[in-house]
């Protein structure tokens, strides 16, 4: 079983106040529109999956249940990218 990233969600933590809306999905990438304080940019990233933690205290992870993960700050430039222009983001996606 895979838990997918929602089509729309509100940011938490370092991206609190940001609104994320999926623009496009390909076989191996997601493209999200990100809005905050009247500004818009786009985040493009590879689809990555991680095992679901079933016991946080003992750090036990599922062998059958996975979740897609949104990139963290340090993933940008590695397997995720930010664009001001939607056309450039879509071009990189292809």
Q: How confident is the model at residue 54 (pLDDT cuts 50, 70, 90)?
A: confident
3-class SS of residue 33? strand
Average pLDDT over residues 64-92: 95
The pLDDT, as a whole number, for residue 49 is 94
The pLDDT, as a whole number, for residue 56 is 86
**DSSP helix, strand, coil percent of the chain (3-state; round to 5):** 15, 50, 35
Look at the pTM and tell me if it is higher than 0.85.
yes
Q: Are strands 60-68 and 29-36 parallel, antiparallel or unpaired?
A: unpaired
Model confidence at 89: pLDDT above 90: yes
Average pLDDT over residues 11-33: 96
What is the spatial distance between Cα 39 and Cα 20, in angstroms, rounded to a whole number? 12
């Amino acid at each position: 079983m895979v838990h997918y990233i929602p089509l729309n969600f509100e940011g938490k933590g370092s991206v609190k106040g940001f609104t994320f809306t999926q623009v496009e999905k390909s076989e191996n990438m997601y493209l999200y529109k990100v809005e905050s304080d009247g500004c818009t940019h786009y985040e493009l990233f590879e689809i990555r999956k991680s095992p679901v933690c079933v016991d946080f205290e003992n750090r036990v992870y599922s062998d059958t249940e996975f979740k897609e993960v949104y990139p963290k700050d340090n993933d940008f430039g590695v397997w995720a990218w930010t664009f001001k222009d939607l056309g450039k983001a879509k071009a990189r996606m292809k």
